[in-house]
A and B are shown apart, each in its own frame.
Chain A
Amino acid sequence: MYRQSVSRSTPGCVVILLDRSDSMKLPWGKSGDSLAVGAALAVNNILLDMCVKATTEVNAPVRHYFDVGVFSYGARLTGPGGEGVEPAFGGPLAGRGLVPLPELAAHPMAVRQEPSIDLMPVNVKMPVWVDPAHGYRTPMCQAVAVAGGYVFDWAAAHPDSFPPIIINITDGMVTDNPYDGATIQEWVERLTAIETRDGRALFFNVFLSPVEVPEIVFPSDPGGLPLPGPDLFALSSVLPAPMVENARVDGYDVRAGAKGLAFNVGRSTLLRVLQVGTRVPDRSA
């Protein structure tokens, strides 16, 4: 299980659930930016990272190694506005659910100067697919339900691929629990029951904190986690062996049974966690 490498015949699927609730307006530590700005920056960085990894040669298109989706929950930027869940891509990809990587690479909403993710005092010119936003409450159940629909269809069409990876970036408590007759636990169970021949879908969580507190990354035990840590721990999938290896290579002390959960993380850690969580098995050489 969890051994399939990505290729164009067996692409992977990465879905990011992005909290756009009102509390995302809070400043993120000493960065000077809000949680919303930092999270959008990290999402744009990981999307660029995936495009770069699939860039292999001059005169060759970005390879279709992944189908990628970003769904926001909280403030809606399209349609009637208000609170809800929607695909978060802007520009030419607005309204699209899962997008093949070559199409993603070709259609950012803008290429502009963005601050460095690691808080270095430099700006870099980079493509942008998702803008920061915040407002309203935190309809996480609905986000899991909406993403689950896309993930279900994708898994049915890609039975031999590495299972879908869903990464939830949030700063708050669920506010729509239960939703449509099911609790957040039940929605996540439905989501992670979706499977390919290589295993069940993986659901990872990243919790952002506006205050500077110790980071907890890939815990194997919920003991000591402040709220809502224990709940997110229970919802999070165990890291499969290839990701444990990735995390250890990145310097994390990952123990048996470690969950795909990062708690109270800063901006650079958020990106590193996203990189670990989106790096599926690959033959490095």
Chain B
Amino acid sequence: MHAWQVVFSVPKHGNSEAEWEDGAAAAPGDPATGRGPRFAVADGATQGFGSTRWAMRLVEGFVGEGAGGLDEIPDLAAEPLHRWLRRTQDRWRHDPLLAQATDMQVYKLETVGSFATFLGCEFVDLDGPHPHWSAVAIGDTVLFQVRGDELVATFPPIPAHGFGVNPHGLPTGPKALEAVVDRLLFDEGVLLDGDVIYLATDAFADWVLREEEGDRRELWTTLAGLDHPERFRALVDDRRRANDMVNDDVTLMRVSISAAGPENLVVCL
């Protein structure tokens, strides 16, 4: 089977595109190692320091686009992820960019740092007898698996109205990391031809879960039909104006699974 993704994002209302503090990355599978395609979304802390760099390091590293490249892709288990996170923290803290930091920026780097909610996913055995997704998560970035008009999996299992303002996340501080590794959640689910996987940061995921309690067919038809960044922006703007979605950076990655592959290649200009 084939899997192909598209990413939509909108920064907080009032902020520029450059101030979007989420991260999203995807990479194809590697036939040489048998590793499947990977997808990751992270949500950097609004009040952190260097949150965008941290969120991007996490997602790029997880899919194999980081500094260590393919050699350092972590397996989806607690111990390999722990080792990978320590390396990722070290690189973030020794970014050459920090040589230009002011006293206040250094102070915030050392006393606050940043953290990010994270969801990473690999599609395993796509061409084999047991195609499935395997995922790791911390915080309230959510994976939705949709089959037809039915939501067949939500990971992590956050209930509607369960999105708080103090979610768990991956920290930049080495000491804090030890405490959160035990909070990593793992899950997996069977993939079928025609399934769609969505990875969404909290504000959008919160809205999705509330909509899902109502007209779910309308919801999933709308999300499956998103075909241009402006349509996504219009959807988010509309929901924000209706006070139905909090003003937060929003990221949605849609991954379609099909035995046939995409019929068209769409380039948005």
A interface residues, Cβ below 8 angstroms from B: 3-5, 7-10, 51-53, 55-59, 62, 105, 242, 245, 249, 281-285
Q: Are A283 and B203 in touch, CB under 8 angstroms?
A: yes
Q: Which of B43-51, B124-132, B144-152, B176-184 contacts A (4 or more CB under 8 A)?
A: B43-51
Find residues 138-174 in chain B having any chain A CB closer than 8 Å to their own CB: 139-140, 164-167, 169
Q: Are A52 and B107 in touch, CB under 8 angstroms?
A: yes
Q: Are A285 and B15 in touch, CB under 8 angstroms?
A: no
Q: How far is the CB of A118 from chain B (nearest CB, A)?
A: 14
Q: How far is the CB of B239 from chain A (nearest CB, A)?
A: 14
Question: What is the chain B residue whose CB lies nearest that of A125?
Answer: B103
Bound CA–CA A56/B101 (angstroms): 11
A58 partner, pick from B97, B115, B246, B248, beta carbons under 8 A: B97
Q: Are A249 and B166 in touch, CB under 8 angstroms?
A: yes
Q: Is the interface of B mostly helix, strand, loop or mixed?
A: loop
Bound CA–CA A281/B105 (angstroms): 23
B10 on the A face (CB < 8 A): no
A57 partner, pick from B12, B50, B247, beta carbons under 8 A: B50
Question: What is the chain A residue whose CB lies nearest that of B55?
Answer: A285
Known contacts A249-B166, A283-B203, A284-B45: A4-B247 contact under CB 8 Å: yes
Interface residues on B, range: 35 or more
B225 on the A face (CB < 8 A): no
B202 partner, pick from A55, A281, A285, beta carbons under 8 A: A285
B13 on the A face (CB < 8 A): yes
Query: Which 3 pairs show the lowest CB-CB distances between chains A and B?
Result: A9-B14, A7-B14, A283-B248
Bound CA–CA A222/B36 (angstroms): 63
Q: Are A9 and B13 in touch, CB under 8 angstroms?
A: yes
Bound CA–CA A62/B246 (angstroms): 23
B67 on the A face (CB < 8 A): no
B139 partner, pick from A4, A53, A285, beta carbons under 8 A: A285
Q: Are B98 and A285 in touch, CB under 8 angstroms?
A: no
Q: How far is the CB of B118 from chain A (nearest CB, A)?
A: 9
Known contacts A55-B108, A57-B49, A58-B100: A5-B15 contact under CB 8 Å: no
Bound CA–CA A28/B169 (angstroms): 39
List, sorted by A's number, 5 A–B pairs whose CB atoms are closer than 8 Å: A7-B13, A57-B51, A283-B249, A284-B165, A285-B117
Bound CA–CA A267/B251 (angstroms): 42
Q: Are B50 and A284 in touch, CB under 8 angstroms?
A: no
Q: How far is the CB of A196 from chain B (nearest CB, A)?
A: 14
